[in-house]
Amino acid sequence: MNKVRVAYVCVHNSCRSQMAEAITKALEPEFFEAYSGGTETKPKINQDAVRTIKKLYDVDMNQTQHSKLIDDLPQEFDVLVTMGCNVECPFIPCKHREDWGLDDPTGQPDEVFLQTAETIKEKMLSLKARIVSGEIDLS
């Protein structure tokens, strides 16, 4: 089976979508090919998110990722995940789309970032399980 190409999309591509990309690459690199993008960008990734991912997964997102526009991503995905930013994303061809409805942890204490990371991990693993079981058909 080819890797499942997943895109995580949020407004600024600086926090939740970046965390999802990093967590997916850290935990499921053999199953998913993960990307993230936004309808706008920030000059740098949220440093609280960077610190959280470094603590949990020993991945320095400042070195491995950067804020990018949706237009900078490959144009076809198996799965498109919006992070809950209540934004209408431009059309991106995909076989399955879902919204995770995550609140933005920006400006919140570290515990909120840790909980956001845990929620992203759980949702990503659930996504994988639903694909493997055939509940989500990517054919």
**DSSP label of 134:** T
Q: Report the candidate in 30, 35, 47 with the shortest Cα–Cα distance to residue 110.
A: 47
**87 touches 104 (CB < 8 A):** no
In single-letter form, the type of residue at position 112 comes to V
The mean per-residue pLDDT over the stretch 65-76 comes to 91
Distance between CA atoms of 66 and 42, rounded to whole angstroms? 9
pLDDT attached to residue 11: 86
What does the domain layout of the chain look like in residue ranges? 4-133
**pLDDT tens digits for range 11-37:** 889 999 999 999 999 999 999 999 999
Q: How confident is the model at residue 93 (pLDDT cuts 50, 70, 90)?
A: confident
Residues in the chain: 139
pLDDT attached to residue 92: 83
- Architecture in CATH of 4-133: 3-Layer(aba) Sandwich (3.40)
pLDDT at 90 over 70: no
pTM above 0.85, yes or no: yes
Coil/strand/helix, residue 81: strand
Span of 71-75, 89-93, 135-139 with lowest mean pLDDT: 89-93
Mean pLDDT of the chain: 93
